[in-house]
Amino acid sequence: MSLSKSLFPSLRASALAAVACCTLTSQSAHAIDIDAGDYTALPEGTNVVALYGQHAQRNSLYARGDQVNGNYGLDSNIGVLRIIHFTKIAGYIVDPQILLPFGELKAKGDVAPVLSKGSGVADAIFAATVWTLNDPVNRRYLGITPFVYAPIGNYDRNKALNLGENRWKYALQVGYIHGIGEKFTVDLAADVTVYGKNNRANAAGQTLEQNQSYQLQAFLRYDLRPGIDLRAGLSRGYSGSNQLDGVSQANTGNRVDKFQLGTAAFITPTTQVMALWGKDLTVSNGFKENSRINVRLLQLF
C-alpha cells in the first residue's frame, strides 16, 4: 500500500462526519455477500442449518479514495444463524429461509470517543431463492433471490454504532453456477439493494435516506477431491450515498473491492465446515478492512 496523502483539516472533519453517518446504518449496509456454492439447488425436502462467524479488523479510514492521517480503527465480531428449507412450487425448487445476525462493533483509536461501540442483534433477513435453471449433472444453476430486512435489531439513535438499522431494506440478487470440466466451478452473483427511510437517524431526530447499492461477486473453486475444495473470490460493491433531511452528505457513497480465499470440506456426508480469509483491496470512503476471517458450520437434514 502506498503512503497516505496529507489531507486538509476540513477533509479530515468531513471524513469523520461521513463515517459517523455511515455507521448509523451498520457496516454491512451495502453488501449481500455470498459463499461459493450458495446457489446450488438441493433436493426438495432438504433442510439446512448454518452458523456463521466473522471477525474483521479495520485499521485505516479513507475519504475520496485517500487515506486519512490518524489512528482510526473498527473491529467487528458478527455471527449469523441461517435456517433454510428446500421445497418445490409450480415445478421450481424454492428455498424459503431466515437469517438472524448478532454480534458487536467496537471503534478504536482516535475515533473511539466518537463512535464508541454497539452490540446485540441485527435486523432479521427473510429470503427465498427460485431456481430457473437446475442442472446438477452439468453443475449449472441459476437462481433469483429477493431479500427483505425487517428492522427488529438493536438500535439507539443516540449511538453511532448500531447492529440494527431502524429501516426496511429490500434487495434482489441473481446467482449463477457453472461447472468447468471435472475440477473447476465458477460462481457469479449480482445484486441491488434499495433502502427505506430511518426517521430516527440521530439524536436530532433527522431522517436518513440512502441511494441504491450494487454488488458484483465472482468465485473460482477447485475440487481437491469429492467434498473438499479450494476457493478464491473477488467482489466490487457500490454503496449509495446518504441524505439527512434531504441534504446530501459528502463522502458517504463508497466503492469497495474485496478479495478472499479459503476452503470448504464435508467432514461427514451431511456436515460441512468452511474457512475463508479476506481483506479489502480498495475503499473510496469509510473504513478499510485489513483482515477478515469467516467460518461456517453447515448441517444438512
pLDDT at 252: 87
Please give the average per-residue pLDDT across 182-201, as a whole number.
97
pLDDT at 250: 83
Please give the average per-residue pLDDT across 19-47, as a whole number.
75
pLDDT at 251: 80
pLDDT at 114: 87
Is 27 a residue whose pLDDT tops 90? no
pLDDT band at residue 31 under the 50/70/90 scheme: low
Is 24 a residue whose pLDDT tops 50? no
Please give the average per-residue pLDDT across 23-30, as a whole number.
44
* pLDDT > 90 fraction of the chain, expressed in percent and rounded: 84
Cell of 300: 444438512
List pLDDT tens digits, range 44-54. Answer: 999 999 999 99
Strands (E), the chain: 47-63, 66-67, 72-85, 87-89, 92-109, 117-121, 124-135, 140-150, 169-180, 184-195, 208-210, 213-225, 228-239, 242-244, 247-248, 254-268, 271-283, 286-300
List pLDDT tens digits, range 207-246. Answer: 999 999 999 999 999 999 999 999 999 999 999 999 999 9
Is 7 a residue whose pLDDT tops 50? no
The ranges assigned to domains in the chain are 26-300
Is 13 a residue whose pLDDT tops 50? no
List pLDDT tens digits, range 78-135. Answer: 999 999 999 999 999 999 999 999 999 999 999 898 899 999 999 999 999 999 999 9
Instruction: Tell me the pLDDT of the chain averaged across its residues.
Output: 90
CATH superfamily assigned to domain 26-300: Autotransporter beta-domain (2.40.128.130)
